[in-house]
Amino acid sequence: MMAQARTVIGESVEESIGGGEDVAPPRLGPAVGALADVFGHGRAVARHGVSFGRELAKIAVGRSTVAPAKGDRRFADSAWSANPAYRRLGQTYLAATEAVDGVVDEVGRAIGPRRTAEARFAADILTAALAPTNYLWTNPAALKEAFDTAGLSLARGTKHFVSDLIENRGMPSMVQRGAFTVGKDLAVTPGAVISRDEVAEVLQYTPTTETVRRRPVLVVPPPIGRYYFLDLRPGRSFVEYSVGRGLQTFLLSWRNPTAEQGDWDFDTYAGRVIRAIDEVREITGSDDVNLIGFCAGGIIATTVLNHLAAQGDTRVHSMAYAVTMLDFGDPALLGAFARPGLIRFAKGRSRRKGIISARDMGSAFTWMRPNDLVFNYVVNNYLMGRTPPAFDILAWNDDGTNLPGALHGQFLDIFRDNVLVEPGRLAVLGTPVDLKSITVPTFVSGAIADHLTAWRNCYRTTQLLGGETEFALSFSGHIASLVNPPGNPKAHYWTGGTPGPDPDAWLENAERQQGSWWQAWADWVLARGGEETAAPDAPGSAHDRALDAAPGRYVRDLPAG
């Protein structure tokens, strides 16, 4: 997202956990209410309470087999297994968490998926917050660090805590500030800005091969978050890889809107994509282009395809989707944030303030994974007194952008009412959306560990559009799948035949491939790239001259002049 789910539900999540400057709902609001309702089911609570009591008896006499899940780094210190007191403390916490999860799962079968998702959201935050590793006296590693440093770790932790209170609204910092500079360390693939208006810049990347395919690729990133997750660093850059495969690669860099641009909506962004298509066509001399949309950028590109299809316009030859969802009909999907009242409140606040801030979007995403994205850093920064890591993707995640209130409201409508999949429910550029009218070839990708845009929901896109389609599945998570280069020895993906209606059946028959889904996409788009031609000597054209070197101005919030 950063990501599509951040875009769609950001304000709703922020309100539900009590963030923002003028929030009316109580802390955790409806989610806490749902959890209270769950624990009002006495029989389920009693059953799991009895099981918890039996496990406590086993823990007390040292016969319990309860252990942390594989990969749970919270209990990595040897004291959690070697010290009897800490072992019993950890087992008690894990057994209690299992009991809470069991109650939510059992009652969830009776109260429905959306209410269950609300309860699960609150339960995950509650159990994550109560982990003994979050507190000094019950964290053996933190106590050892304090002893070994003669208390210096606690002094550093206090300094970090005060800094976060002042500069980060009390949230623990996930990345070392100032460790990376855009244009110097990040977003360094050579290129030029060949177009700029008030909405976006268009970047053209410098070819690295003697010949290129005549039909260019235009990348449409999401309108929330800077584009450079697609151009992190050499070796971890999607656009660098694309250029290296002999593809003429162009990319939209959206402007970071202020309250003055609060009325920007789908028409604004879709219209800019169409203008960019024409600019790319003029520079390359190609009659049409291949598009690829990432996250919510794929939704915007879809409305463009729909508009062009209605006019019989063939300016787009093919479309690729990366972790993009078009169908939000899954009743369990992000259900903790789907309450109509909460969405109405969020839309009203969007209209009042004009924009949804990057800070609010960041908080929304963070609380969906409290162990990894909150309490992990509480322990690292405050208890251990360590500086947050200098990691490129975390630096990008911390460098957010705003979202116009009008566009945010439309995304909330898509999320709440699933208006994209019902013909005529949404109109963009004056054209009612009908997904079956889109008949260009499509390449759809998802990520098997994606907790934001679940891969089966991404797969649904193959059944919604009207043209031939292929699907590829990455092994990793939402953002990890987008920054995972082919050289990673752990990377793999699945490809298969023509996607049918059942995603699990597709996966059962798919073939595992070593490397990154980037390779499958590049092979697919090269087959639709037209003939080879000599690589251009310079960016731009006589009509669209190069303005600045990449990464441009908008990614750094510099004025257009």
Burial of 162 (0-12, 13-18, 19+ CB in 10 A): exposed
| CA angle (199 as vertex; 195, 203 as ends), nearest 5 | 35
Residue 488 CB partners (closer than 8 Å, separation 6+): 515, 516
The two structure tokens encoding residue 374:
């909150």
Sign of the C-alpha dihedral computed for residues 474, 480, 486 and 487 taken in this order: negative
Q: How many CB atoms lie within 10 A of CB 37?
A: 14
**Is residue 492 within 8 Å of 515, Cβ to Cβ?**
yes
Q: State which H helix or E strand residue 337 sits in.
A: none
| CA 102 vs CA 85, 97, 138, 502: distances in Å | 26, 8, 25, 29
Q: Is residue 365 classed as helix, strand or coil in its secondary structure?
A: helix
Q: Give the ranges where 418-483 is alpha helix by DSSP (H).
A: 455-459, 461-464
**By C-alpha distance, which of 249, 292, 253, 323 is closest to 480?**
323
The residues assigned a catalytic role are: 295
Rounded Cα–Cα distance for residues 120 and 103 (Å) = 10
Residues 6+ apart with CB under 8 A from 489: none
Run of H or E residues at 417: helix 405-417
- The rounded distance, in Å, linking the Cα atoms of 323 and 296 is 9
Full 3-state SS string of 468-529: CEEEEEECCCCCHHHCCCCCCCCCEEEECCCCCCCHHHHHHHCEEEECCHHHHHHHHHHCCC
Place of tokens 């390779």: 519
d(CA 442, CA 446) in angstroms, rounded, equals: 13
Closest CA to 298 of 472, 480, 453, 515: 453
Can you spell out the DSSP letters for 233-278?
A: STTSBHHHHHHHTT--EEEEEE----GGGTT--HHHHHHHHHHHHH
Cα end-to-end span (Å), the chain: 29
